[in-house]
Amino acid sequence: MFYRTHDGGMATAPRRTVDAHSLLHLKLPKSIRSVDAADLVDGFTILQNQTLRLAAAAYGVSIGSVARARRLTPEQRQAVRQGRRPLVLPRAPVPPKPVPVPNIPAPSPVAMDVRQRLIAIVNEIGGIDAALDVLAAGSIELAA
């Protein structure tokens, strides 16, 4: 804004400074808020203490992404601008856990019928004749 001075010269008004934290709490009519917003856009007002919400709304991004970007160093911010780095680095893949091998117990002996056990023993000795010879020799004591 230009103002005429008493000596006929032109002067500019000092810039008004507005705190961003107070903007949402001002109890002013919409017409006055519209004029104040126009002054801000035209550069007649300086906005101090910008908020995350205000910056996120102005750029059309989420507050979380602005908060994430604030954690980056200036070099990392430049790398994001140039497309050499994503804003959020992907997490390292978690190595798969080894699958435990279940302890399989040894198979228990198969319970045989008495006849099947006798047939297995006779076959192991070498036939019925050999089994009868062992019994006739009396080298086996039979349990009572």
Sign of CA dihedral 13, 14, 19, 22: negative
In a domain, 107, yes or no: no
- Banded model confidence at residue 116, pLDDT cuts 50, 70, 90: confident
Question: Per-residue pLDDT tens for 4-35?
Answer: 555 555 556 678 888 887 777 778 888 888 88
Instruction: Let me know whether 17 and 75 are in one domain.
Output: yes
Mean pLDDT, rounded, for 89-94: 87
| Residue with tokens 């107070």, as numbered in its chain | 22
Instruction: Let me know whether 19 and 66 are in one domain.
Output: yes
Considering only CA atoms, give the Rg of the chain. Answer: 47
In a domain, 142, yes or no: yes
For residue 27, CA distances in Å to 23, 36, 57 come to 9, 13, 21
Instruction: Let me know whether 26 and 65 are in one domain.
Output: yes
In a domain, 104, yes or no: no
**Res 39: pLDDT:** 82
- Banded model confidence at residue 69, pLDDT cuts 50, 70, 90: very high
Range of the domain at 131: 112-144
Mean pLDDT, rounded, for 104-130: 81
Instruction: Let me know whether 74 and 118 are in one domain.
Output: no
In a domain, 40, yes or no: yes
With a cut of 90, say whether residue 112 has pLDDT above it: no
**Model's pTM, two decimal places?**
0.47
Instruction: Let me know whether 64 and 16 are in one domain.
Output: yes
Last residue in a domain, options 59, 81, 103? 81
Instruction: Let me know whether 31 and 76 are in one domain.
Output: yes
**Res 57: pLDDT:** 82
In a domain, 30, yes or no: yes
For the chain, what is the mean pLDDT? 80
| C-beta neighbour count of 133 within 10 angstroms | 13
The count of domains in the chain is 2
Question: Per-residue pLDDT tens for 46-61?
Answer: 888 888 888 888 788 8
Q: Which two tokens stand for residue 16?
A: 């008004």
**Greater confidence, 70 or 8?**
70
Instruction: Let me know whether 124 and 73 are in one domain.
Output: no
Mean pLDDT, rounded, for 126-142: 78
